[in-house]
């Protein structure tokens, strides 16, 4: 009897899960199914250097494609195929053409899609940024002098605004309720990021939201909650994301924000127990922060698919052969972002801090080197550093590791 693990989603999480299944000793079939036509590729450059200079679509894809690892042997890929439904009790999924496939194990790696701004007005001229096709389309629209309205000041909004400014566009950033990258970085560093943007000519509009778009066929203006109007040629909507969970509905899973998992990335059912043969990896997985005893959350950063796949794949294989999962340590979250050539690194859970303390440097001068510590009580739960050498970043990472209650699971 053929034993099959289906990996749903063919991006970084799907790729790493497939590789780790082989590392964990799975010799049966592995079938990776992904909606995009492209093999797995790297997303972070889509708002940075590839948005600035993608070249042809083929050149962009060649720059971004992940090189298959040696462990990725005998993996089947079905790209350009959307999974529309699943029946976990019957162990089947349904594809967009109506085909039904059975599985013994299932890895959920369908990630996120961008949220949209819920405001009336024309659709044309409003861009999103998640895929290579999104980046190519946005790049085409960015010319020197183009008036760009970026809505949302998280990582992707700030990076897009910086890249558009570097391309000579006239950029307005609609920050929303919080300042630039304020949720992950806190107020002090957020103000430093705003300074960097404004020094390069980005017009940062604070504490406003979009109420409507103007224009007959294409978007020509953005009406703001403070009564202001921005004239635009192009809009970039970067207001967060939604988990791609619709195909899992009807199975009694908690899908409120991604897929609820235990510390082994095993998906939890209605009874709070792991559903046999089911794990999740990457941006879509909501798992407990054992280090700091914080509630389960999703971690939308590049390191997460790799880190979670290393835990989820062996746990899935163990479950399929009737063994308990081996001990594992919950991954330490980490992220980076680049603004005008300044690298900002984060480690731990800064967004969950009760208090911040400056460890070195001046948050108002990020490029000159700064580090901020994030605390709950007296426990250091995260550090963000900017403009510092890699050795310093590793030092701060170690401090967070040493401070955290390292729970072996």
Ligand X SMILES: Cc1cc2nc3c(=O)[nH]c(=O)nc-3n(C[C@H](O)[C@H](O)[C@H](O)COP(=O)(O)OP(=O)(O)OC[C@H]3O[C@@H](n4cnc5c(N)ncnc54)[C@H](O)[C@@H]3O)c2cc1C
From the number of C-beta atoms within 10 Å of its C-beta (0-12, 13-18, 19+), residue 209 rates as middle
CB of 96 to ligand X, least distance (A): 8
d(CA 2, CA 398): 45
- Residue from 32, 112, 219, 311 touching ligand X (CB under 6 A): that is 112
Stretch that binds ligand X, among 3-11, 117-125, 183-191, 376-384 (CB under 6 A): 3-11
- Residue 11 near ligand X by CB under 6 A: yes
The residues pairing with 356 across neighbouring beta strands, listed in sequence order, are 374
- Residue 30 near ligand X by CB under 6 A: no
d(CA 177, CA 237): 15
CB of 112 to ligand X, least distance (A): 5
Stretch that binds ligand X, among 56-64, 290-298, 335-343, 388-396 (CB under 6 A): 335-343
Stretch that binds ligand X, among 32-40, 137-145, 203-211, 268-276 (CB under 6 A): 32-40
- Residue from 19, 36, 260, 262 touching ligand X (CB under 6 A): that is 36
- Residue 129 near ligand X by CB under 6 A: yes
Provide the mask over 64-83, with x wherever binding to ligand X is found by CB under 6 A and - wherever it is not.
------------------xx
Q: How many CA atoms lie within 13 A of 310 on its CB side?
A: 10
User: Which of the residues 78 through 107 are near ligand X (CB under 6 A)?
Assistant: 82-83
- Residue 353 near ligand X by CB under 6 A: no
**How far is the CA of 80 from the CAs of 9, 10, 33, 35, in angstroms?**
11, 10, 8, 5
CB of 140 to ligand X, least distance (A): 16
- Residue 305 near ligand X by CB under 6 A: yes
Rg (CA), the chain: 22
d(CA 107, CA 87): 14
- Residue 46 near ligand X by CB under 6 A: yes
Contact 41, 50 (CB under 8 A): no
What number of chain residues touch ligand X (CB under 6 A)?
A: 36
- Residue 282 near ligand X by CB under 6 A: yes
Neighbours of 366 (CB within 10 A): 26
Neighbours of 268 (CB within 10 A): 20
DSSP one-letter code for 124: B
Stretch that binds ligand X, among 11-19, 213-221, 374-382, 399-407 (CB under 6 A): 11-19
- Residue 13 near ligand X by CB under 6 A: yes
d(CA 310, CA 125): 40
d(CA 337, CA 344): 5
Residue with tokens 């900002």: 344
Q: Which residues would be at the binding site for ligand X (CB under 6 A)?
A: 8-14, 33-36, 43-44, 46-47, 82-83, 109-112, 129-130, 156, 244, 247, 282-283, 300-302, 304-305, 335-337
């Amino acid at each position: 009897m053929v034993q099959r693990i289906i990996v749903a989603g063919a991006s970084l999480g799907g790729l790493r899960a497939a590789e780790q299944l082989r590392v964990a000793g799975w010799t049966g079939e592995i079938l990776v199914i992904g909606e995009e036509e492209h093999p797995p590729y790297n997303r972070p450059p889509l708002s940075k250097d590839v948005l600035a200079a993608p070249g042809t679509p083929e050149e962009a894809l060649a720059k971004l494609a992940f090189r298959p690892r040696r462990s990725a042997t005998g993996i089947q890929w079905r790209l350009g195929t959307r999974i529309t439904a699943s029946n976990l009790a019957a162990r089947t999924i349904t594809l967009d053409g109506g085909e039904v496939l059975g599985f013994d194990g299932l890895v959920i790696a369908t990630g996120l899609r961008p949220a949209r701004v819920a405001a009336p007005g024309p659709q044309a001229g409003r861009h999103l940024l998640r895929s290579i096709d999104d980046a190519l389309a946005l790049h085409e629209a960015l010319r020197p002098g183009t008036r760009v309205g970026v809505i949302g000041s998280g990582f992707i909004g700030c990076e897009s605004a910086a890249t558009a400014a570097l391309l000579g566009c006239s950029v307005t950033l609609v920050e929303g309720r919080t300042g630039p990258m304020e949720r992950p970085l806190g107020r002090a560093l957020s103000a430093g990021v705003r300074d960097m943007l404004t020094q390069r000519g980005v017009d940062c509009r604070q504490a406003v939201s979009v109420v409507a778009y103007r224009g007959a066929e294409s978007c020509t203006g953005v009406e703001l909650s403070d009564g202001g109007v921005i004239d635009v040629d192009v809009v970039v909507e970067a207001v967060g994301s939604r988990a791609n969970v619709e195909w899992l509905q009807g199975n009694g899973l908690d899908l409120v924000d991604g897929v609820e998992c235990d510390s082994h990335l095993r998906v939890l059912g209605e009874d709070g127990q792991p559903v046999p043969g089911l794990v999740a990896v990457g941006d879509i997985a909501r798992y407990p922060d054992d280090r700091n005893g914080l509630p389960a959350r999703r971690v939308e950063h590049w390191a997460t698919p790799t880190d979670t796949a290393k835990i989820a794949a062996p746990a899935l294989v163990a479950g399929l052969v009737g063994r308990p999962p081996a001990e594992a340590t919950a991954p330490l979250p980490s992220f980076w972002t680049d603004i005008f050539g300044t690298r900002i690194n984060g480690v731990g859970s800064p967004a969950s801090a009760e208090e911040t303390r400056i460890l070195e440097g001046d948050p108002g001068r990020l490029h000159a080197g700064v580090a901020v510590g994030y605390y709950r009580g007296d426990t250091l739960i995260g550090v963000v550093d900017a403009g510092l050498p890699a050795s310093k970043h590793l030092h701060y990472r170690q401090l967070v590791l040493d401070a955290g209650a390292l729970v072996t699971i």
